[in-house]
């Protein structure tokens, strides 16, 4: 997907020894001052000799812990682009758990190593999501113009870098015209292509909850239940469910103090959650569908308000608890395994209750239906523009030309640790 027309900076300097002792990065381009801290301020475009773009990327040549295997690689990108390619400057790039797992070598999609950006040995650039500004385009590109923003149309682009050349840009990228940027921040756009889309497809493709709401005759929305409700996907499901008139039971892990747990409940309620319950509380209710109805669903009957969809990102015993809450004929969709424990299903759930269990991976779904993927991303972006969909808490990490590798490594390494204040997002400035 990403065709890197690149040369290590040291090679460019060798071709012009008279410049090597005196050259410094040339500052040019536009300056933009915006109030949103997640939007770039005082943007600088750096160039080297002969208009080569100076770029940096986090790379790894073997799998392992981020602190051990990630390094910064500096290289130069040629100003000559293939006809169907574009040069992009990164504005923001999330640090997703899947990205960290890819570095560790434990994710379902394995890294692809190459030497196209001039690394000493074949290396990969992590990162599946990002928001970019189009700097220049090849003669054959028809859907993008300089100044537009662009998002990856699939996984595996490698977004943890300051600049990237992308071939087959018309199909490899989702463009956002520069006249349609109002209401969007780079950080929000960068996080639009996986978590919200995952929630969207799971809520729409397994059980027709909207039709179920209409057929109930109660005037109230259909129910769904999910664990990991404060995750990126969970928050998206809450907001989308509210927009579509659905009601949700949201399971979270209790925080260290009652006050912190209460604050999280209120935060999710403000997003549109109908019910927020801790995992311990759900366990204490004995996973009983009857008790769930009497205590959390206002006593509504199975007939008028069946609970037919559960979204699971935890696995193990918590996932089994969700399954026990489902009505006959219900569906559980698993999209994560945070507990790193297998999901063990009693045969009775399959035989006597006709429950069905599905796995969902948005990357695989998008490869099978690229047009549907693009449409889903664009629908999410439209909601963001209308302020109907909000970005979750973010823990931003500024990436400037001078940012040391250790700062970036620590940001990546902390992604899977404990309760975080928000999603890690690289925000690029002065690159």
What is the domain-level CATH number for residue 54?
3.90.180.10
Question: What percent of the chain is helix, strand and coil (3-state, nearest 5)?
Answer: 35, 25, 45
From 140, 131, 205, select the one nearest 167 (Cα to Cα): 140
Tell me whether residue 413 is in a domain: yes
- Whether residues 219 and 276 share a domain: the answer is yes
Q: What is the pLDDT of residues 206-261, one digit of tens each?
A: 999 998 888 877 778 999 999 999 999 999 999 999 999 999 999 999 999 999 99
3-state per-residue secondary structure call for 119-166:
CCCCEECCCCCCEEEEEEECCCCCCCCCCCEEEECCCCCCCCECEEEE
Token code pair at residue 152: 């990856």
- Whether residues 173 and 275 share a domain: the answer is no
Residues 348, 349, 352, 355: what is their CA dihedral angle, to the nearest 10 degrees? Answer: -160
Strand partners, 72: 58
Mean pLDDT (the chain) is 87
- Whether residues 125 and 225 share a domain: the answer is no
Q: Residue 338: what pLDDT?
A: 86
Q: Residue 146: what pLDDT?
A: 97
Which positions ≥6 away from 257 have C-beta within 8 Å? none
CA distance 155 to 363: 6
Residue 392 neighbours by CB distance under 10 Å: 18
Count of the separate structural domains present in the chain: 2
Q: Residue 415: what pLDDT?
A: 67
Q: Residue 21: what pLDDT?
A: 30
Strand partners, 164: 88
- Whether residues 211 and 163 share a domain: the answer is no
- What are the CB-based long-range contacts (under 8 Å, 24+) for 238-241? 238/268, 238/271, 238/272, 238/273, 239/271, 239/272, 239/388, 239/389, 239/390, 240/196, 240/199, 240/200, 240/203, 240/389, 241/203, 241/272
Predicted confidence band of residue 108 (pLDDT cuts 50, 70, 90): confident
Check whether 19 has a pLDDT greater than 80. Answer: no
Under a CB-based contact definition with an 8 Å cutoff, are residues 104 and 132 in contact? Answer: no
For residue 309, report the phi and psi dihedrals to the nearest 5 degrees.
Answer: -140, 130
Quickly list H helices, 206-257.
209-216, 232-243
Token code pair at residue 103: 């570095």
Tell me whether residue 1 is in a domain: no
CA distance 377 to 339: 29
Predicted confidence band of residue 431 (pLDDT cuts 50, 70, 90): confident
Predicted confidence band of residue 304 (pLDDT cuts 50, 70, 90): confident
Predicted confidence band of residue 275 (pLDDT cuts 50, 70, 90): very high
Tell me whether residue 382 is in a domain: no
CA distance 198 to 177: 24
Tell me whether residue 372 is in a domain: no
Q: Residue 81: what pLDDT?
A: 95
Q: Residue 299: what pLDDT?
A: 86
| Highest mean pLDDT, choosing among 32-46, 332-346, 413-427 | 332-346
Kindly state the greatest CA–CA separation across the chain.
Answer: 82
Token code pair at residue 317: 């015993």
Predicted confidence band of residue 48 (pLDDT cuts 50, 70, 90): low
- Whether residues 150 and 214 share a domain: the answer is no
Q: Which residues does the annotation mark as catalytic? A: 107
What is the domain-level CATH number for residue 337?
3.40.50.720
The residue range of the domain holding 48 is: 6-191+391-428
Cα–Cα distances (Å) from 68 to 17, 170, 199, in that order, read: 35, 36, 33
Residue 342 neighbours by CB distance under 10 Å: 10
Which positions ≥6 away from 403 have C-beta within 8 Å? none
Check whether 45 has a pLDDT greater than 60. Answer: no
DSSP secondary structure letter of residue 109: S
More confident: 282 or 326: 326
Strand partners, 131: 92
Strand partners, 399: 428
Predicted confidence band of residue 380 (pLDDT cuts 50, 70, 90): very high
CA distance 67 to 407: 10
Predicted confidence band of residue 296 (pLDDT cuts 50, 70, 90): confident
Tell me whether residue 386 is in a domain: no
Give the pTM: 0.86
Predicted confidence band of residue 44 (pLDDT cuts 50, 70, 90): very low
Rounded to the nearest 10 degrees, the angle between the axes of helix 316-325 and helix 289-296 is: 80
State CA 409 to chain mean position distance.
19
Predicted confidence band of residue 270 (pLDDT cuts 50, 70, 90): very high
Residue 113 neighbours by CB distance under 10 Å: 14
Check whether 272 has a pLDDT greater than 70. Answer: yes
**H helices, E strands: number in the chain:** 17, 18
- Whether residues 64 and 157 share a domain: the answer is yes
Cα–Cα distances (Å) from 28 to 21, 47, 77, 299, in that order, read: 21, 8, 16, 65
Strand partners, 277: 251
- Whether residues 206 and 348 share a domain: the answer is yes
Under a CB-based contact definition with an 8 Å cutoff, are residues 175 and 143 in contact? Answer: yes
Tell me whether residue 110 is in a domain: yes
Mean pLDDT of 80-84: 95
- Whether residues 39 and 109 share a domain: the answer is yes
Tell me whether residue 381 is in a domain: no
Predicted confidence band of residue 30 (pLDDT cuts 50, 70, 90): very low
CA distance 354 to 307: 13
From 210, 207, 229, 236, select the one nearest 221 (Cα to Cα): 210
Domain boundary among 363, 382, 402: 363
Q: State what percent of residues in the chain have pLDDT above 70.
A: 86
Predicted confidence band of residue 32 (pLDDT cuts 50, 70, 90): very low
- Whether residues 206 and 176 share a domain: the answer is no
Tell me whether residue 370 is in a domain: no
Q: What is the pLDDT of residues 163-210, one digit of tens each?
A: 999 999 999 999 999 999 999 999 999 999 999 999 999 999 999 999
Give the SS3 label for residue 341. Answer: coil
CA distance 384 to 378: 10
- Whether residues 177 and 239 share a domain: the answer is no
Check whether 89 has a pLDDT greater than 90. Answer: yes
- Whether residues 136 and 97 share a domain: the answer is yes
Residue 233 neighbours by CB distance under 10 Å: 24
Q: Residue 1: what pLDDT?
A: 46
- Whether residues 178 and 63 share a domain: the answer is yes
Predicted confidence band of residue 51 (pLDDT cuts 50, 70, 90): confident
More confident: 138 or 40: 138
Q: What is the CA radius of gyration of the chain?
A: 23
Check whether 66 has a pLDDT greater than 80. Answer: yes
Under a CB-based contact definition with an 8 Å cutoff, are residues 386 and 183 in contact? Answer: yes
Q: Residue 39: what pLDDT?
A: 41
């Amino acid at each position: 997907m990403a065709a890197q027309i690149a040369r290590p900076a040291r090679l460019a300097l060798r071709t012009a020894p008279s410049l090597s002792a005196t050259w410094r990065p040339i500052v040019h381009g536009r300056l933009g001052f915006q109030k949103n801290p997640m939007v770039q301020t005082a943007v600088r475009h750096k160039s080297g000799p002969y208009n080569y773009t100076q770029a940096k990327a986090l790379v790894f040549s073997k799998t392992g812990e981020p602190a051990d295997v990630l390094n910064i690689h500096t290289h130069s990108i040629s100003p000559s682009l293939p006809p169907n390619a574009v040069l992009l400057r990164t504005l923001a790039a999330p640090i997703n758990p899947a990205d960290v797992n890819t570095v560790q070598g434990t994710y379902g999609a394995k890294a692809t190593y190459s030497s196209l950006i001039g690394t000493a040995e074949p290396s990969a650039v992590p990162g599946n999501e990002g928001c970019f500004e189009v700097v220049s385009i090849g003669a054959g590109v028809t859907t993008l113009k300089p100044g537009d923003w662009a998002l990856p149309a699939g996984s595996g682009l490698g977004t943890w870098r300051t600049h990237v050349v992308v071939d087959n840009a018309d199909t490899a990228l989702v463009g956002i015209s520069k006249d349609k940027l109002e209401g969007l921040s780079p950080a929000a756009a960068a996080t639009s292509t996986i978590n919200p889309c995952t929630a969207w497809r799971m809520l729409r493709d397994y059980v027709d909850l909207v039709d179920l709401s209409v057929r109930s005759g109660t005037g109230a929305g259909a129910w769904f239940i999910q664990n990991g409700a404060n995750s990126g996907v969970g928050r998206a499901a809450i907001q989308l469910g509210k927009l579509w008139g659905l009601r949700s039971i949201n399971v979270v892990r209790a925080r260290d103090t009652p006050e912190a747990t209460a604050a999280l409940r209120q935060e999710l309620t403000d997003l549109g959650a109908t019910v927020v319950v801790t995992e311990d509380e759900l366990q204490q209710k004995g996973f009983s569908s009857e008790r769930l109805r009497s205590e959390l669903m206002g006593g509504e009957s199975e007939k008028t308000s069946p609970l037919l969809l559960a979204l699971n990102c935890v696995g193990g015993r918590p996932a089994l608890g969700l399954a026990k809450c489902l009505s006959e004929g219900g569906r559980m969709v698993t999209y994560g395994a945070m507990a790193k424990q297998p999901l063990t299903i009693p045969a009775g759930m399959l035989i006597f209750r006709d429950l069905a269990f599905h796995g969902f991976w948005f990357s695989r779904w998008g490869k099978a239906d690229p047009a549907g993927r693009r449409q889903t991303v664009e629908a999410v972006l439209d909601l963001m523009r209308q302020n109907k969909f909000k970005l979750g808490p973010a823990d931003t990490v500024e990436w400037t030309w001078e940012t040391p590798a250790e700062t970036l490594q620590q940001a990546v390494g902390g992604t899977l640790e404990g309760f975080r204040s928000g999603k890690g997002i690289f925000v690029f400035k002065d690159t």
